[in-house]
Amino acid sequence: MTQSALTSLLQKSPEEQKARGYFHTAGEIASQPEVWRKTGVLVHAALPGLSAFLSGTRRLLLSGAGTSHYVSLSLQPLLSGFFDCVEAIASTEIVVDPESALPREPFVLVSFARSGESPESNAVISLAERLRPGLVKQLAVTCNREGALVHLVESLGGRGFVLTLPEESNDSGLAMTSSFSSLCIAGAALAYLDKAEEYDKLVERFASLGGSMIDRASDLGSRLASEDFERAFFVASRPFLGGAFEARLKVQELTAGTIIGSTEDSLGFRHGPLAAVNDRSLIVVFLSSDARRRRYELDLLGEIRGKRLGKRLVAASSDVSGLSGLADFVLDFGANGLGGAVPDSLLSVFVGVTGQLIGLFASLGCGLRPDEPSPDGVISRVVHGVRIYPENEER
């Protein structure tokens, strides 16, 4: 059996991997299925306490910065079916305009974070405490037990709850990879507070499909790496649109902006963004397994194909039936794992992983080092230099 492009990279010696600058990123992408299983074990153990903490909760505000915000966007459609109101607002937005962002009725602020050191996300904890006293409880979901976020939320006593993910999810590479997918899987537990066995089966479904899906996506990324793209468009429907934002960010981050990315919803793509597609563009359309949504997505694929837009067109789905001839490449997420295909409400995990692998091989194709693709230090693993201004400071 032919080995995948990712496996080929990882079979190089650690010294060569480090010399080429992909040692952390490639390994962390490949390790995700096992990290998901470890995440599931930790979350399962925490479910009784988490359920008690959230008892009576009607409103959630999901927050984070950068990729962590895309975790929030990925989970909002799922969780809206289990709480009266679920909003996803980036911590970077809340800091700038907290009065319009923070609810004026009881709510739980759910903060997602890899390092727990983001200045904006940690500032939101304090802002919520100061501006909405008596209304807010705080839940932190983080990959770093030693981060400042953990200490902030633990200091709240009974009004705070910390869910810490496995150490392996705290990526060493610049780009959030295993952390993104693990935070999504952990956050999904909020929809399974009293259904631990169902949650366990969901996690196993991800893990059982994940290894082969990662191999197929790595082969796709390797094939696309030599295409000399300058733009990449990621198109998805609402239940997994957050994953498309993350896929776009991964390609843009890992290529240090050599490839500029864009994300749109399936119907919104025609409303202006289509005009930006040129002959050096990659278009990736993620398709639903829901028949109603899929009709719209297939129509869009047919229009792009008929107009001969872009340099390469990719279709990705858990259901690849009827896609032959509509795209240059078809990526099958797989539907043979425990319980069938991954549901649309959590497809963002596989959508985001697709962007990770396209970004990894595009970065190498650009002659960059994926572990640190920005040689001038424009971006870094943890954002620094953000000044948080007091709310009462004169303007």
- What's the pLDDT tens digit per position in 120-175? 889 999 999 999 999 999 999 999 999 999 999 999 999 999 999 999 999 999 99
Q: Alpha carbon of 303 to those of 147, 238, 296, 312, 324: distances in Å?
A: 48, 20, 11, 14, 15
SS3 383: coil
Q: How far apart are CA 176 and CA 115, in angstroms?
A: 10
The mean pLDDT value of the chain amounts to 94
pLDDT confidence of residue 382 = 66
- What's the pLDDT tens digit per position in 224-257? 999 999 999 999 999 999 999 999 999 999 999 9
Tokens 């278009």 correspond to 283
| 194 within 8 A of 51, measured Cβ to Cβ | yes
Mean pLDDT within 338-364: 91
pLDDT confidence of residue 43 = 98
Confidence class of residue 394 from pLDDT cuts 50, 70 and 90? very low
Count of C-beta atoms within a 10 Å radius of residue 247: 31
Q: How far apart are CA 109 and CA 153, in angstroms?
A: 11
pLDDT confidence of residue 342 = 81
SS3 339: coil
Q: How far apart are CA 195 and CA 81, in angstroms?
A: 15
Q: Alpha carbon of 261 to those of 164, 180, 281: distances in Å?
A: 31, 18, 10
If one compares 383 and 133, the residue with the highest pLDDT of the two is: 133
Mean pLDDT within 185-200: 97
pLDDT confidence of residue 335 = 75
Mean pLDDT within 290-301: 95
| 149 within 8 A of 129, measured Cβ to Cβ | no
Q: Is the pLDDT of residue 1 over 90?
A: no
Q: How far apart are CA 341 and CA 213, in angstroms?
A: 12
pLDDT confidence of residue 395 = 42
pLDDT confidence of residue 110 = 98
